[in-house]
Structures are given as C-alpha cells and as structure tokens.
Structure 1
Amino acid sequence: METKVSDELLKHLEGLAKLELLEDERIELKKDIEEILQYMTLLDGVDPDAEEMVTPVEKSLEPREDELVEFKESRLIRDLFPETEGSYLKVPRIYKEEK
C-alpha cells in the first residue's frame, strides 16, 4: 500500500511544529514520513486476538541453587588496590557521624 503525504499536510505539520524548512529538508521529511506510515501499515496484518506472550524464553525460570565458587584472584586485586589494611580494602568513609 502506497502512502502519500501531501504538501498541504506537510506545511500544516511545519506550522504546528513552528518550523521553517528548506525545500531539500521538506523533501527529506516527506520521504521519511511516508516510510514511517508505510511501515505502520504492517500493523494492519497483526491479529489482535493472538495468544498473549509473556516472555520469549520457553524454558523454566526457576531459581537455581546457590553454588560456592572460589575466587582465586583476590590477592591480585588486593595488590592493585591503592590502600589496604591487612587483608581488607580501605575505601573512603561515606557516613559522617552527627555531633
């Protein structure tokens, strides 16, 4: 289905948007609007009574069991951190006590 945007409609839209377009901008905008409207006609073929799809994932979304995984790079991270205290990483305080 071919959708045509008239020059009158385009001028009306320009006025509503308070725009003054150059002729080449007007041609480009007209082409873009026609492409959008043509794409929107695809929705005419959509069956609104189709079965509702909650998620495209078909497998069960049951939570998995927690597993303990040993992290072997903690020493490397600690060595690269700017400030440490023993085996702890020292970070700036974010809570200030009220006096």
Structure 2
Amino acid sequence: MNHTVTTWGLSSRATSYLSQHPEQLPALAEAKALPPLPPGYVPEVVEVLFDDLPYLRAVNGELIFSRDCLPDYQPGCVEYRMDDQLAFFQIGGEVVVDRLGGLALVQGRVA
C-alpha cells in the first residue's frame, strides 16, 4: 500500500477497504492534495457514486440520471464529484476526502 495512505489517519477498516481497492488511491491522493472548492462555487454537474457506480447525476440543478437501490443498501464507499472533480469520499461513515467547504448555498441548501 502507498505510504501516503498511512499518513491520512484512517481507521483500519478504511485502510483495509483501500488495500482491496488500490485503483481508488491515485484519485484520492490527488484530491487530498487540492484545496477546498472555492467560496460560492456552484457546480454545473454533480454526480454521486456508490461503490464506484453512478447512482445520481444532475446537470444545472436538474436530475438527469438516477439508479434504483434497495432501501437498506449500505455502500462500501460514497463519492461526490463536482464538474468531474472528486470533492467528497467516504468509506462507511469515515470521511477520506472533503473539499465541499466552498459550495454555495442555494435556497438554504448546498448547491
């Protein structure tokens, strides 16, 4: 496993997950090195992936794709992409990447 992962302060569960999914590491390392999204940022495209599969896609605030899943489905990882940038990634309940700090609020909600 990449030495960088050991410096991320992750739980053994998250580290184990990443050791089983090493293809995730380059994108995670790159995203962790980037600053938060800029203040007032409003993405044109928002995608939500569960276990590396797209489940939601919205363009300019309009939902254009959604995939059904079972009500009790618990994905191993959840990823939010904003305009094709990795902005948030969590394994179980553990946040690995969080660049959402600059997202604008629209009508009291995160845009």
TM range (shorter): under 0.3
| More helix by percentage | 1
Higher relative contact order (CA 8 A, sep 6+): 2
Structure 2 length-normalised TM = 0.21
| More strand by percentage | 2
Structure 1 length-normalised TM = 0.23
Question: If you compute each CA radius of gyration, which structure gives the higher value, 1 or 2?
Answer: 1
